[in-house]
């Protein structure tokens, strides 16, 4: 059962564009995690993890307790930066997504 | 051709159910006065009371006998008694006694809401599927509150009519509204969603062109706000005002009351600064509460006048609205229908550079105009002063 139901089919395409389009796979240089990355600009980064990738990341697994949300794994950030330097990740948005 | 197509607003349809998860009803102490309390929630009214041991119980507010309003009854012993025929209901949802009857019908069971106490607040579990409460996803108990390291609570609530509570949730990712609605510059903005938590990391400073209160250029704010489930946010706010650091914790939570209404509640405590007496510390907490109250009202004004939108049109500087809503969706589907994308970790760093360049210029221009007006001797005394906000994760 769906909850907030769109009334237009175009909305489903928007959901796809904003969430899963243009994700480039980046493998961590330190562990077995692989994530989907999109960069709309130099400073912007969108990182989609999977449960499997998450299990591989020792850095994120270390966190427990209150106020335990970890902004990012520094090793993964470094891996993404390396991929950007290698030109593996196109930088730039397509009409806002 | 498609480039010139007019963009349609898809207002969608709101869900019929209410979110699965823990919902905060308020400070526990409030319910320990020996009386039954009524709280509107989940399209009905709940009755909340404390038994002789001080343990808090929550049932549906209407007696299963003839529909009497239990919230207008009395607490008798450990039970709540209906004002209509004195049926006595226990915290386990069973009718314990009908004083005028030989026996209690076996089927005399009502809707019970499992209770947990967290940070001196009453939380109830709600799930249309009737599942057992998930204790693993309760919000954390924060150290120092019981130990008296924080000020007294300032607790406020506001019933919002005409908006679905998802409008409030959207603020988690809405970087730009902090400038336009709350008069603060977000200089850094990041989101992380994972499992049942959604977090916003934000650093901001007050706008110097909007004067008054704490929200001026001298105020720097580091905010970390996490939703634990669909309705309970803890917002850690480290503020630096002219070199004076304060640690504020804002508990921002809501209870849906209908499909287009919700009770917004927020509690504020401040870590007692060293060298300050309790009275002064409590005063600071009140001041912060006032600012947040005004901040929420700014949001409410927007919500009351906007339409719901299922297909927001985003620009590059916007936060991950679609991913946040995908996360939020997990609370509105059956547990069996939760898909990995709803709970998989997702990180998003908003690019605030372009926005800040533009905003700095705009603020400079506003200050220049104001200086000109002041120089021209124009009185601005009868203009209502715009209240700047020290902003939180909402």
pLDDT tens per residue, range A32-73: 999 999 999 999 999 999 999 999 999 998 876 567 778 899
CATH number where B32 lies: 2.102.10.10
With beta carbons under 8 A apart, name residues in chain B contacting A40: 316, 351
Which residues fall within 8 angstroms of residue B249, CB to CB, at 6 or more apart? B142, B150, B234, B235, B236, B237, B268, B269, B270, B271
At B231 the three-state DSSP class reads coil
CB contact under 8 A, B316 and A71: no
User: Is residue B389 included in any domain, yes or no?
Assistant: no
User: Is residue B11 included in any domain, yes or no?
Assistant: no
Q: Give the per-residue pLDDT at B1.
A: 47
Q: Give the per-residue pLDDT at B393.
A: 66
Work out how many CB contacts closer than 8 A connect A with B. Answer: 131
The torsion angles phi and psi of B171, rounded to 5 degrees, stand at -60, -20
With beta carbons under 8 A apart, name residues in chain B contacting A70: 192
Q: Give the per-residue pLDDT at A3.
A: 61
B166 and B130, same domain (yes or no): no
Asked whether the beta carbons of B267 and B121 are under 8 A apart, the reply is yes
CB contact under 8 A, A47 and B346: yes
User: Is residue A72 included in any domain, yes or no?
Assistant: yes
CA dist., res. B28 & res. B367, Å (int):
47
B121 and B164, same domain (yes or no): no
B128 and B162, same domain (yes or no): no
CA dist., res. B262 & res. B254, Å (int):
7
With beta carbons under 8 A apart, name residues in chain B contacting A8: 8, 10, 310-311
B31 and B122, same domain (yes or no): yes
User: Is residue B368 included in any domain, yes or no?
Assistant: yes
Q: Give the per-residue pLDDT at B23.
A: 98
Domain count, chain B: 2
User: Is residue B3 included in any domain, yes or no?
Assistant: no
User: Is residue B174 included in any domain, yes or no?
Assistant: yes
User: Is residue A94 included in any domain, yes or no?
Assistant: no
User: Is residue A95 included in any domain, yes or no?
Assistant: no
The shortest C-alpha distance from A27 to chain B (Å) reads: 16
ipTM score over 0.90, yes or no: yes
B164 and B295, same domain (yes or no): yes
CB contact under 8 A, B192 and A93: no
Mutate to test the interface with B, among A2, A3, A23 (most CBs of B within 10 A): A3
CB contact under 8 A, A7 and B13: yes
The shortest C-alpha distance from A2 to chain B (Å) reads: 6
B241 and B368, same domain (yes or no): yes
Minimal Cα distance from A48: which residue of B?
B346
For chain A, the residues whose C-beta falls within 8 A of a C-beta of chain B are 1-8, 10-11, 14-15, 18-19, 40-51, 54, 60, 65-72, 93, 96-97
User: Is residue B229 included in any domain, yes or no?
Assistant: yes
The shortest C-alpha distance from A95 to chain B (Å) reads: 7
Q: What confidence tier does A92 reach under pLDDT thresholds 50, 70, 90?
A: very high
B169 and B94, same domain (yes or no): no
With beta carbons under 8 A apart, name residues in chain B contacting A1: 17, 333-334, 337
Mutate to test the interface with B, among A5, A8, A12, A18 (most CBs of B within 10 A): A18
- Identify the domain containing residue A54 by its residue range: 23-85
Minimal Cα distance from B195: which residue of A?
A51
Measure CB to CB from residue A44 to each of B166, B194, B316 and give the nearest one.
Answer: B316
B258 and B345, same domain (yes or no): yes
Measure CB to CB from residue B346 to each of A42, A49, A71 and give the nearest one.
Answer: A49
B241 and B362, same domain (yes or no): yes
User: Is residue A32 included in any domain, yes or no?
Assistant: yes
B292-350 tens-digit pLDDT: 778 888 888 898 899 999 999 999 999 999 999 999 999 999 999 999 999 999 999 99
Which residues fall within 8 angstroms of residue B265, CB to CB, at 6 or more apart? B24, B26, B155, B156, B157, B158, B252, B253, B254, B255
B263 and B355, same domain (yes or no): yes
Q: Which segments of chain B have a pLDDT < 50?
A: 1, 212-214, 382-385, 387-388
User: Is residue A31 included in any domain, yes or no?
Assistant: yes
CA dist., res. A4 & res. B279, Å (int):
47
CA dist., res. B232 & res. B45, Å (int):
20
Minimal Cα distance from A40: which residue of B?
B316
User: Is residue A15 included in any domain, yes or no?
Assistant: no
Phi-psi region of B214 (alpha: psi -120 to 50; beta: other; left: phi over 0): alpha
User: Structure tokens of B266?
Assistant: 């927020």
With beta carbons under 8 A apart, name residues in chain B contacting A6: 10, 12, 310-311
Domain boundary among B137, B163, B181: B137
User: Is residue A53 included in any domain, yes or no?
Assistant: yes
Measure CB to CB from residue B316 to each of A10, A19, A93 and give the nearest one.
Answer: A93
Domain count, chain A: 1
CATH number where B187 lies: 3.90.380.10
Measure CB to CB from residue A50 to each of B166, B325, B340 and give the nearest one.
Answer: B340
Dihedral, A18, A19, A20, A25 alpha carbons, nearest 10 = 110
- Identify the domain containing residue B57 by its residue range: 21-137
Q: Give the per-residue pLDDT at B14.
A: 85
The answer on pLDDT for A2 being more than 60 is no
User: Is residue A42 included in any domain, yes or no?
Assistant: yes
B362 and B222, same domain (yes or no): yes
The shortest C-alpha distance from B286 to chain A (Å) reads: 24
B189 and B131, same domain (yes or no): no
Asked whether the beta carbons of B146 and B269 are under 8 A apart, the reply is no
Q: Give the per-residue pLDDT at B207.
A: 87
Q: Give the per-residue pLDDT at B351.
A: 94
Q: How many residues does chain B have?
A: 394
With beta carbons under 8 A apart, name residues in chain A contacting B315: 96
């Amino acid at each position: 059962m769906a909850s907030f139901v769109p009334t237009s089919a175009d909305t489903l395409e928007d959901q796809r564009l904003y969430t899963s389009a243009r994700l480039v796979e980046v493998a961590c240089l330190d562990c077995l995690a692989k994530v989907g990355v999109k960069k709309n600009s130099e400073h912007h980064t969108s990182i989609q993890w999977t449960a499997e990738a998450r299990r591989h990341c020792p850095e994120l697994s270390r966190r427990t307790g209150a106020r335990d949300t970890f902004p990012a794994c520094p090793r993964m950030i470094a891996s993404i930066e390396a991929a950007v330097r290698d030109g593996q990740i196109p930088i730039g948005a397509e009409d806002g997504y | 051709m498609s480039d010139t197509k007019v963009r349609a607003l898809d207002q969608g349809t709101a869900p019929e159910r209410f979110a699965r998860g823990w919902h905060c009803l308020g400070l526990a102490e409030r319910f320990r006065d020996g009386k039954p309390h009524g709280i509107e929630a989940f399209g009905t009214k709940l009755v909340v009371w404390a038994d002789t041991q001080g343990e808090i119980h929550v049932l549906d507010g209407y007696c299963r006998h003839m529909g009497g309003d239990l919230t207008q009854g009395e607490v008798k012993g450990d039970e709540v008694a209906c004002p209509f025929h004195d049926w006595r209901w226990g915290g386990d949802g069973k009718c314990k006694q009908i004083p005028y009857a030989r026996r209690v019908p076996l089927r005399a069971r009502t809707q019970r809401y499992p209770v947990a106490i967290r940070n001196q607040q009453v939380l109830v579990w709600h799930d249309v599927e009737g599942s057992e409460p998930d204790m693993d996803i309760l919000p954390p108990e924060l150290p120092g509150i019981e130990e008296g390291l924080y000020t007294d609570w300032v607790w406020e609530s506001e019933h919002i009519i005409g908006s679905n509570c998802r409008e409030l949730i959207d603020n988690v990712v809405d970087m730009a509204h902090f400038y336009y609605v709350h008069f603060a510059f977000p200089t850094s903005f990041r989101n992380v969603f994972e499992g049942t938590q959604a977090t916003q990391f934000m650093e901001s400073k007050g706008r110097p062109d909007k004067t008054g209160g704490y929200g001026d250029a001298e105020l720097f704010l580091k905010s970390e706000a996490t939703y634990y489930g669909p309705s309970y946010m803890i917002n850690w706010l480290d503020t630096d005002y002219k070199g004076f650091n304060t640690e504020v914790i804002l508990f921002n939570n809501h209870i849906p009351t209908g499909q287009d209404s919700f009770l917004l509640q927020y509690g504020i405590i401040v870590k007692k600064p060293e060298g300050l007496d309790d009275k002064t510390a409590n005063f600071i907490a009140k001041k912060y509460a006032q600012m947040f109250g005004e901040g929420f009202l700014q949001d409410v004004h927007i919500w009351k006048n906007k339409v719901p939108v299922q297909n927001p049109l985003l620009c590059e500087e916007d936060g991950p609205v679609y991913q946040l809503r995908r996360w939020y969706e997990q609370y509105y589907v059956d547990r069996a229908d939760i898909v990995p994308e709803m709970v998989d970790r997702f990180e998003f760093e908003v690019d605030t550079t372009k926005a800040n360049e533009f905003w700095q210029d705009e603020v400079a221009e506003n200050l220049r105009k104001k200086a000109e007006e002041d120089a021209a001797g124009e009185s601005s005394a009868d203009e209502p002063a715009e209240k700047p906000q020290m902003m939180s994760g909402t």
